[in-house]
Amino acid sequence: MHPAVMHPARSGGAWPRSVAPAGSTLGDSGDRRRAGEDEMSITDDDLETTTAAIAKLEGIEPSGDIGEFNARKLTFGPDKAVIGPVAHLAAERIRLTALEWEHFEVRQVGATLGGIVKGLDLSEPLADEVIDELHRAWVDYKVLFFRDQELTAEQHIDFARRFGELEVHPFLRNNDDRPELVRFAKDADTGGYENGWHHDVTWREVPSKGAILRAIEVPETGGDTLFCDMNAAYEGLSDDLKDRIEGLVAEHDYMQAFGHTITGADAAMMREKYPVVEHPVVIHHPISGKPLLYVNRFFTTRIVGLEPAESDDLLVTLFAQANTLEYHCRLHWHPNSIAMWDNLAVQHYASSDYWPDIRVMERASIVGVRPTF
């Protein structure tokens, strides 16, 4: 629990006593909590239901629960695309808006994920209490962004190690001097092939907890990285689909993404070292406890126990949840920008729209724990 704010998911549904208007705008130097006079205060009477709190903030009359509100959505086109407010995001959006921090500021980026952190110099050793608070912010916002952080490779590794042991990727090119850093160097001869929604390394028995990606050289336009909140993706599923996938497990394999890069004896050795693994289709975050949709187009190959056609159809439906724009936030890179994402809570997508320009990034990934139901 953070100072001056309660976590609804962990405190019986209680909401903070004062919340800034959801539509308020911040300048880089602004702070929602410091704009006091124009804020609307939520009283105890407003805490009875989430929709009452939302209605007060938005200046509208409450009208039933979120399920009733969602039932009034529209469907357009032959594919019956659902059109209308994505109401299930509101509670988390308001919760994030209310968070306050002692050692730094965070400007919220997306509805339910993404925060730009200001007030820290990552090239300097940070006190333990700052790291602890930053870790809590990481769990809350799922992905954190930092600007103007001039780090050496060594400082990048030192910062990442404050959050756990670092892994070495067996297939991707590493920094020549520091194998803990994966180096993504793109140019006219080496295009970007990360433009699909995915969690990293789910083909590992223990996938990474998170990753810290640093921009070294980036194009003026293009090359953004997008992130998708997989708790929002799960909560957006129909009750019938949630029931259908409860308890299911899926196979994850590196072959589709990396199989073409290894041959002969190396291929046999890698297959023995990294066999096909199974993870739950829906996992729970080890800290927040939130359910997360945990299948991805790069590495998830089939759902165990289903016929191939049924497995494929279900995976297509589940993969498509990451396409919902309301679940996203997006980072346009500048040199010395850093993104730090929770690899369980979000999927990411590196836009490959900058060819033939140069884009050079380095990533440190932190060892996690095995995903569980």
> At 195, is the secondary structure helix, strand, or coil?
coil
* Cα gap 145→275, rounded to integer Å: 34
Active-site residue identified among 93, 285, 348, 359: 348
Q: 279 φ, ψ to 5°?
A: -135, 155
* Cα gap 351→192, rounded to integer Å: 8
Tokens 């919902």, residue?
324
Active-site residue identified among 46, 140, 200, 342: 200
Instruction: Indicate the helix (H) or strand (E) that contains 225.
Output: strand 225-229
188 burial level (CB within 10 Å; 0-12, 13-18, 19+): exposed
Q: 93 and 232 in contact (C-beta within 8 Å)? A: no
* Cα gap 48→70, rounded to integer Å: 20
Query: Active site includes 348?
Result: yes
Tokens 């916002």, residue?
141
Q: 50 and 88 in contact (C-beta within 8 Å)? A: no
**Pairing mode of beta strands 249-252, 225-229:** unpaired
Token readout for 159 is 């910062």
Q: 208 and 364 in contact (C-beta within 8 Å)? A: no
Token readout for 191 is 């295009």
Token readout for 170 is 């067996």
Longest CA–CA separation in the chain, Å: 69
**Pairing mode of beta strands 300-303, 328-331:** unpaired
* Cα gap 151→197, rounded to integer Å: 28
Active-site residue identified among 93, 198, 214, 285: 198
CA proximity to 250, closest of 290, 271, 277:
277
Q: What is the C-alpha end-to-end distance of the chain, expressed in Å? A: 24
* Cα gap 202→49, rounded to integer Å: 37
Catalytic residues: 198, 200, 348, 363
